[in-house]
Structure 1
Amino acid sequence: MMGEPLDVRDLHVTAITPNGDEIDIVKQVSFSLTQGEVLALIGESGSGKTTIALSLLGYARRGCRISGGSIRLGESSILDLPPAALRDLRGHRVSYIAQSAAASFNPAKCLMEQVIEGALRHGVMSRRDAEAKAVELFRELALPDPEGIGSRYPHQVSGGQLQRLMAAMALITDPALVILDEPTTALDVTTQIEVLRAFKRVVRERGTTAIYVSHDLAVVAQMADRVLVLNGGEIQEQGDIDQILDRPSHPYTKSLLEAARPEERLTPPTLERQGELLRIDDWQVGYGQRDAQGIPAKVVLDDISLCLERGQALGVIGESGSGKSTLAMAVAGLTAHSRGEVVFNGQELSTTLRGRTPDQFRRIQMVFQSADNALNPAHNVERILTRPLRTYFKLDEEERRRRVRELMDLVKLPHSLLSRRPGELSGGQKQRVNLARALAAKPDLLLCDEVTSALDTVVGAAILELLVELRSKLGVSLLFISHDISTVRALCDDVMVLYKGQCVESGDCASVIASPQHPYTQKLIGSVPELRRGWLESRPSFASLEQDCVA
């Protein structure tokens, strides 16, 4: 049943507003796929990619409805199927691989039970055959211990392994169409390359017809035969992958390509460094109860030393679990270090918030990865920005009002948003408010923890441009945490590479990237997808580097 042709004609999806009005969110979208072809749906957040992908399951999210058009998969007209036939279609002939595998698995069931569930429910094969098919898929997807991994539970495998297990779950019934919805977005770059490699091999070898949803053109270049570019629910351009990458015709497509190359557009500002701002010596940071020597049960960072000057931007890179965010949290005083010394502005910093002065609070501000979690949903933007002004400065009401508007101008947000709550803002707008709130304190140091990783390519590029501009205007120092070497290269002067809680390489950003010395740094830099076909096949498998990295 693998690889049936797909034909979508004049697809229309509408959403119902709280006032009862209907608005178009997907407008007359048409495309077709031949058997075994991979089509990428690409565009920024809100462009309609996932809405279209879900429509191929005959499904519309709550508050939406498929209001027109047709979807044919082989001989089946999906939008005309009765509910019972749609249930038979989903997870059998059409499978869906979601962005977050962690949210898709039941923590109380072993992995094998969940992978074979669709095959058993649809009566495709017996339990014995389904388990044998699952082991075969585990092997094809390059999962460790293919015969034994099915007996584990979701929390006992890594994020990249869980994402590949979700692919096995989707492929177990030999579906006619597989939808991959941002399947590697939540993964760090080193894990992403191995997952992409496994996905591509299985899709190609099985002749699977597939839809690949993404905002990342570099990833799409490795997976897709053709690309459909969306904005505002409408098709801006579609064509084969080489034409889209090399000869884009629509201005929006060109803007997506430019946003995917931040290092070509942005150059860190040349600022005069005015002496040491932050110095860390022989740091150890961890969690859990400490033993008699004061060593925590779980050591996350060890032997960390760095010096950050005024006006300097230091990038800290590494994969998930390397200790990047813990470093930022410890500098902010949210996690206590168990050994070593940290000196800020010539004074030793307390290991805890309680031991720090209000001025030290003001001078070190943190911009968190998720603005959704960092901003109070019950407060409007004006109240959010006013709070640090009340806390740190003796300003009258008129001065506070004027300063709030200056902050909005600084992060390039219209004053009309001041009365809105976070839930009424886009992801990029929320991150700008998050940044403005930190800048309200007039800090010397901004701790930026993965501030663009939750954003799509276009919005993330705009935030990077803003940070470059703010560095030039304000001369603020940055400790920029990221797993993406391309964003660090675009923004930072210097870089520190963390691997399993230790610094394995540091120095001038351009020099380290041009000539990495440590095998792990080479792995990180070599894992960033390039905007060209064939890049994935040209990269070596990094599994052989693991021993060198540890050594």
Structure 2
Amino acid sequence: MSTPSPAATVTGLSISLGDTPLLSDATLTLTPGRVQAITGPSGAGKTTLLSALIGALPPGAHIASGSVTVLDHDVLTLAPDRLRQLRRHRIAFVGQDPGSGLNPRMRAARIVTETAAAAVTRTTVPELFRLVRLPTDQRLERRRTAGLSGGQQRRVALARALARRPGILLLDEPTAGLDPALRDDIADLLRDLAGRDGIAIALTSHDPHFVARCADDVLTLATAGAPAGPPVPGPASGAPAHRTGTPEPELAEPELAEPELAEPVQAEPVQAEPVLSVRGLGARHGRGPGGRTVLAGLDLDLHPGTLTTVVGPSGCGKTTLVRALAGLHGTIGGTLSLDGSPLAGPYRRRTRDQRRRIQLVPQNPLGALNPAHTVGATLTRPLRLHFGLSAEQCESRVAELLTAVGLPPDHAGRRPHELSGGQRQRVSIARALAAEPDVLLCDEVTSALDPATALGIMALLSALRAERGLAVVFVTHDQGLIAPHTDRVLDLAASDGHAPGAERQAQPVRG
């Protein structure tokens, strides 16, 4: 059987932003019917490589060397109108923060069909939803973006991409924020799509299990500035899952300021009164008959120095819970108290100090960071607002915060579009920590980070719990990462005999 012609070829591609390398000497080939995984540490240039395949470079970036050929076109020199046609009809791209690319005024069904191929009609939407493991009831089709969980937004964006019947499908961290069962379903779906429809698929991922399940070939990128390893066969093709070429580095960026925190720092049990208490909390998505209740009668106590893990399948209300605690999602019934004093539900009705004491790190930082502000300006704002620090003090504190989350201090001069997804997430964490909160709400904050950096973030949070008595709520699907650090688990869809929303003590982790 003849080998199909490559759908896309990247040869010796290096991209820089000023004097800063974003991608170094990357080479890969996308073939119809095969899945190409791109791995490597945060900041290695995975997203930059995918963007180059659609002829889109970060603002101010330039090609230092190399070429990109997609469907027989040099996309780096293609006329704008031809490039738009290629993107609209032949290539589909789903970014790392798909929610920011979905029109908030459109309902899910309309989002999917807006740019669909002519053969796709309104009646095809349930079939597409079924493909991406979304409920096919009309209630979900009628919801707008704000009424969807992060995982549901990601799958709606994937359905929208598939509706275009592309020849090339590019996915940036397609399983970030999805539970393990859904990750496996999406892996199997991508393998089926590649083989059945002859689509050339390229995806980035930090999840080795996901890559092993779906990839035919794997390209491991090194930290920008070092050459990437060559593509190698992946486990899905039946070849051994080894890597050759340049060894994968342990960290994308300089290590945390306190390297000794590589092991979890266990906070001593604290018998203090809870810093934040919730009784009978309820929340809904949407209004009227089309709305649905996602939380009902939930009780929760957050004690200083503890970490509470929130688990449950996509769409069960995990993000809704942390947004409600932060005052950003309306509640129906229930009460909140901060240090024993009543706490208003809506953010605008809370005092400045109450707002400072409860900080949220969202799942998708791209939509939460102002694109016009540098990292330094973003971190400086809470320092001046809450503590009145001078310019010199702010500069020193910004450098400390960046170092703490594993970023070089010189990143203070960058803007969000000049950062990788993992780097943006770390800036978002640093911004929350700048307010020196008592309660930190983390919504899937490690889903876009490489394993080494994720461990570093967990070590940092453990240190803050032990030293400052920080109470952490951590939404995650990666219980292997969180298990050594967690004190209790809140399961919003318990299947072990507990009622949904039941709080249970975490079991001790045994080595």
TM-score using structure 2 length? 0.70
What does residue range 294-333 of structure 1 map to in structure 2 within 5 Å? 299-333=293-327
Match of 1:363 in 2: 357
Distance 1:410 1:438 in 2: 12
Displacement after TM superposition at 1:485 (Å): 3.4
- Is the 8 Å Cα contact of residues 110 and 153 (structure 1) preserved in structure 2? no
- Is the 8 Å Cα contact of residues 115 and 134 (structure 1) preserved in structure 2? no
Match of 1:43 in 2: 40
Distance 1:362 1:193 in 2: 39
SS in 2 for 1:503: coil
2:8 aligned with 1:10, yes or no? no
Match of 2:280 in 1: 282
Match of 2:472 in 1: 478
Displacement after TM superposition at 1:205 (Å): 3.7
Displacement after TM superposition at 1:222 (Å): 1.2
- Is the 8 Å Cα contact of residues 2 and 208 (structure 1) preserved in structure 2? no
Match of 1:509 in 2: 506
Amino acid of the structure 2 residue aligned with 1:12: L
- Is the 8 Å Cα contact of residues 72 and 78 (structure 1) preserved in structure 2? yes
Match of 1:533 in 2: none
In structure 1, stretches of 5+ residues that fail to align are: 118-126, 260-264, 291-295, 515-551
Q: What percent identity do the matched residue pairs reach?
A: 31
Residues 469 and 244 (structure 1), Cα distance of their counterparts in 2 relative to 1, 3 Å cut: farther
Distance 1:200 1:432 in 2: 32
Distance 2:199 2:159 in 1: 16
2:181 aligned with 1:179, yes or no? no
Amino acid of the structure 2 residue aligned with 1:181: L
Match for 1:342 among 327, 336, 350? 336
TM-score using structure 1 length? 0.66
Distance 1:82 1:377 in 2: 27
Distance 1:154 1:336 in 2: 17
Displacement after TM superposition at 1:486 (Å): 3.9
Match for 2:92 among 92, 96, 112? 96
Match of 1:236 in 2: 229
Distance 1:193 1:447 in 2: 27
- Residues 44-82 of structure 1: per-residue CA shift (max 9 Å, x gap): 45534455456556x354765595457597xx6867998
Displacement after TM superposition at 1:40 (Å): 1.9
Distance 1:16 1:392 in 2: 34
Q: Which moved more, 1:33-42 or 1:439-448?
A: 33-42
- Is the 8 Å Cα contact of residues 174 and 203 (structure 2) preserved in structure 1? no
- Residues 298-334 of structure 1: per-residue CA shift (max 9 Å, x gap): 6442110122222110011234432223322333344
2:117 aligned with 1:116, yes or no? yes
- Residues 139-168 of structure 1: per-residue CA shift (max 9 Å, x gap): 99477899x99xx78959964355245325
- Residues 401-447 of structure 1: per-residue CA shift (max 9 Å, x gap): 76666555554555555566666666555544544444344433222
Residues 371 and 248 (structure 1), Cα distance of their counterparts in 2 relative to 1, 3 Å cut: same
In structure 2, stretches of 5+ residues that fail to align are: 256-261
Displacement after TM superposition at 1:395 (Å): 7.2
**Cα RMSD for the two superposed structures:** 5.1
Match of 1:543 in 2: none
Amino acid of the structure 2 residue aligned with 1:252: E
Distance 2:405 2:111 in 1: 47
Amino acid of the structure 1 residue aligned with 2:116: V
What does residue range 58-73 of structure 1 map to in structure 2 within 5 Å? 59-61=55-57, 64=62, 68-69=66-67, 71=69
Residues 319 and 417 (structure 1), Cα distance of their counterparts in 2 relative to 1, 3 Å cut: same
2:188 aligned with 1:188, yes or no? no
Greater share of helix: 1
- The structure with the larger Rg is 1
- Residues 82-139 of structure 1: per-residue CA shift (max 9 Å, x gap): 87998887677x543433777379959685684333xxxxxxxxx6xx87x9799859
Match for 2:162 among 152, 163, 167? 167
Amino acid of the structure 2 residue aligned with 1:476: L
SS in 1 for 2:483: helix
- Residues 235-272 of structure 1: per-residue CA shift (max 9 Å, x gap): 2243222577456674426669xx9xxxxx76462422
2:209 aligned with 1:218, yes or no? yes
Displacement after TM superposition at 1:282 (Å): 1.9
SS in 1 for 2:165: helix
Amino acid of the structure 2 residue aligned with 1:196: A
Residues 308 and 65 (structure 1), Cα distance of their counterparts in 2 relative to 1, 3 Å cut: closer
Amino acid of the structure 2 residue aligned with 1:179: L
- Is the 8 Å Cα contact of residues 379 and 421 (structure 1) preserved in structure 2? yes
